[in-house]
Each structure stands twice: as C-alpha cells, then as structure tokens.
Amino acid sequence: MAAPTSAPSSTETFWADADRHLVRYAGAGDFTREIISRAEGSFLHTEDGRRILDFTSGQMSAILGHSHPEIVETVRRQVGELDHLFSGMLSRPVVDLARRLAGTLPAPLEKALLLTTGAESNEAAIRMAKLVTGGHEIVSFARSWHGMTQGAAGATYSAGRKGYGPAAPGNLAIPAPHAYRPDFTTPDGGLDWRRQLDFGFDLVDAQSTGNLAACIVEPILSSGGVIEPPPGYFAALRGKCRERGMLLILDEAQTGLCRTGSWYAFERDGVVPDILTLSKTLGAGLPLAAVLTSAEIEQEAHERGFLFFTTHVADPLVAAVGTTVLDVLTRDRLDERAAALGAFLRAGLERIGARHGVVGDIRGRGLLAGLELVVDRETKEGSDALGALVTRRCLELGLHMNIVQLPGMGGVFRIAPPLTATEDELSLGLSILDEAIGDAVARL
C-alpha cells in the first residue's frame, strides 16, 4: 500500500478521490462541482480563481460573513489557551456565554445548555420535555426540519423519512400554515389558519394516547420553503399546548440572532417558548448550539435525572466564539441592519417578480427571504426543471443559491446572505438572479 500524500492533487484527481471516497449525504443532491479554497465576507473563492457570492451564508450559518476578523482572532486566542474539557468541568467562556444569552432573552429563559449542532439541541429539548411532562408524544409541522438524530428526525417531515424503518413512537404532524398555498380558506380565498389549527389538533387528539409532551416548531419554516405563520398563530398554538399540558419548543436555528430583523423571530408575536433552541447562527459558522429554558423547567428536569451530554458539551473554544458573535451583533446593531437590508432585498425581489411571470411568490422576513418559482401563476404549478436550471445558471454567473423542492410546491429559493453584506453585494446577487431566471425561461 502506497503511503498517503498531502500534496495538492490535480482537479481531475480531486474529483476522482471525492467520488471514490466520500459518502454522499444530501439525498438526491450531489456535490457542487467547485473546489472552494477560501472564503471571505460574502464571497467564496475557488481554486481556479472564480469568485462566488454566497447567498446562503454557508449552511445558513455564517451571519457575520466568512472569516470575520474578530471570529478569527477569538479562535486563534482561545485555541491556544483552552479548547476542550471533560464534560463535568466548567470554564469562564461557557458561563459568560450562558449569562450573555440570558441577557438577550425575555424572562423566564435563563438556563442554557451549550452543545454543537441544531439536531443535538433539538434532541436535548425533546428529551427534556418528555422527562418534565412525563409524556412522549411530539407534535411538529408537516414541512418541518429539526435534524437527523432520532428524536429530531422523528419530528422532521420535509425530508428523510422513507427507508429507515419506524421513527420513535408518538410523532404527530399538523399542517403548516402556508398563505400562498392555503388548504383551509376564508371566503375571500385567504388562509383560514384558525380553522386549520383546530383541524390539526383535532387529528392530534384523535391519534394521541394521552401522552402529549411538546410541540416543536420553527417560527419561519426554512427548509420547508420559507413559510411564515401569520400574526396570532403562535399565541393560538401556545394556547393549544397549554390546554393539553404540552411544552412549546421553538427552534430558531436559522431565524435566531438578528437574521429576521429582530434578535429572535418569536418577538414579533410576543410569545415566549418554554424551551428555545439555537444553533447555526450562534456559532456564525462554527459548531455551536444551545438549549435555553426556565429555572423551573431546568429544576424539574434535574430532579428527574436529566441526562444529556456529548463529547463537546460546554466546550470553551466555541463558547468564546459565541460571545464574540453576540458582541458584534450588539455593537454593530445587526438586528436593525438586517431589517433595513431585508427591505432592500425584498424590493429587489419584487422588481424581479414584476419582470418574470415565473415568480409566483416572495416571502420571508429580514434577511431570510423566499422566492417561489412556478410555471403558471394561476394554477401555481411548479417545475423542478425550472428551479434546477436557475440554480445552475446562478452558479455559472457567480452566485450560490439554494432551492427547496418539496412535493406540492414549486421550487423555492432560500435567500439568506450574511448580515454583514452590503447593498452593492445584494444588488449584484439580485442582478445575477434576474439574469439567470431570464436565461432559464428562454431555455425552457
């Protein structure tokens, strides 16, 4: 056997090695055929010298852009001092971040568990809810995404359910309140979300064995197609939970920490969850997640023997990064910036919609926007081919986009640039998207 080498390989050898040795993990999707060599701010740079504008903030995470100098400095300093500890030990960065997070949240959310990924934080939240309530049944939206670990995957309905055997018992789905594609309608054709919510919980009650523990939902369903429940929905949902002794868990992996124009998306509705989970945006691209809850719930969980720790629970390195993220968000008032840039982005998308009849809907909040493509605005019929063409053409022109394609929906672009992006960068992305849609329509 030949000894391995660390010397850079040719492009052809790189892709041959990738195809031979990497597990493909994105379902039907394949790896983007670009070798990324570095990233800075809002741009990715390839080995062959191409510059690509990143309209997804990496995996919807790099809210401060790539290689933010203060994040880089924190990592360099902290990794040289203290990076990892035994799970039962504590360090100042961990306690500092827990205190700082509590300071950004309304009462009674003041207890934090620091983990690594969104799936971990949702898994921990679900386990905590089951332990505290004594139930095991978990309700979530039919277009949800909460992660790929067992409990989180059981509450995920947008993808990944087929072929893996039975999910954990007690997972129940309610319909997502989708104003563009309403299933329950008012006399004027709008979404009758109250009737839909009543119907959903009628089905929950019919299927429940009397062991309801929690409802876990995203304030804006991102992987589900950037679906934003209407004002009043979450107050009504909390009421349904209270009637049944359930806890309300809000998953703000993609919406938390200023992306939607406020620190947390739930602020719009004035509804404080029993448990809040954060992940992607908290580490700004590094693996950091958190579960936040009240002292009362934490005490009850502790008394019942709550057990959830991982190899990297409460690691000081990423905790220090999280505190730096909060510092930058606060100092640079990035909640206000996201609101202003979101309005700028929305106006540009609406201009694109006015020029192209295949744009069916524009939605979202702040710097989390959705643009849905259809082949017919009247029927709202979607086209996978159209979405794939636009995505590919955007990349050719230097823009990375992500499109969500789910049954019963058209292709929906999730647009989530860094909060540090400039108006010029947003304008560049909008210009490329405009051109790509025009080119794709012409080809079809």
CA 357 to chain centre: 29
How far apart are the C-alpha atoms of 9 and 6, rounded to whole Å?
A: 9
Q: What is the DSSP letter of 139?
A: E
The residue annotated as part of the active site, out of 120, 218, 315, 425, is 218
The residue annotated as part of the active site, out of 228, 251, 335, 361, is 251
CA 115 to chain centre: 16
- pLDDT tens column, 259-314: 999 999 999 999 999 999 999 999 999 999 999 999 999 999 999 999 999 999 99
How far apart are the C-alpha atoms of 337 and 262, rounded to whole Å?
A: 10
- Predicted confidence band of residue 17 (pLDDT cuts 50, 70, 90): very high
- pLDDT tens column, 201-213: 999 999 999 999 9
The residue annotated as part of the active site, out of 244, 259, 337, 414, is 414
CA 118 to chain centre: 8
The residue annotated as part of the active site, out of 120, 123, 137, 145, is 145
Q: What residues does each domain of the chain span?
A: 30-60+333-443, 71-331
> Which single residue is written with the structure tokens 């040289």?
80
pLDDT of residue 164: 92
Percent of the chain with pLDDT over 90: 92
- pLDDT tens column, 175-186: 999 999 999 999
- Predicted confidence band of residue 5 (pLDDT cuts 50, 70, 90): low
The residue annotated as part of the active site, out of 259, 280, 346, 363, is 280
Sign of CA dihedral 42, 287, 95, 145: positive
- pLDDT tens column, 304-356: 999 999 999 999 999 999 999 999 999 999 999 999 999 999 999 999 999 99
CB-CB neighbours of 222 under 10 Å: 28
For residue 166, whether the previous peptide bond is cis, meaning omega lies within 30 degrees of 0, is no
The residue annotated as part of the active site, out of 137, 254, 298, 361, is 254
pLDDT surpassing 70 at residue 132:
yes
Element (H, E) at 428: helix 423-443
Question: Is residue 218 annotated as a catalytic residue, yes or no?
Answer: yes
- pLDDT tens column, 211-268: 999 999 999 999 999 999 999 999 999 999 999 999 999 999 999 999 999 999 999 9
pLDDT of residue 406: 77
* Superfamily grouping for domain 30-60+333-443: Aspartate Aminotransferase, domain 1 (3.90.1150.10)
Q: For the purposes of burial, counting CB atoms within 10 Å of the CB of 74, is it exposed (0-12), middle (13-18) or buried (19 or more)?
A: buried
User: Would you say the CATH fold of 71-331 matches that of 30-60+333-443?
Assistant: no
CB-CB neighbours of 389 under 10 Å: 21
Question: Is residue 414 annotated as a catalytic residue, yes or no?
Answer: yes
Backbone angles phi, psi at 198, to 5 degrees: -60, -45
List of E strands, 26-89 = 36-40, 43-46, 51-54
Question: Is residue 254 annotated as a catalytic residue, yes or no?
Answer: yes
In 208-267, alpha helices (H) = 233-243
Q: What tokens does 371 get? A: 């643009």
- For domain 71-331, the CATH class is alpha beta
Question: Is residue 380 annotated as a catalytic residue, yes or no?
Answer: no
pLDDT surpassing 90 at residue 28:
no
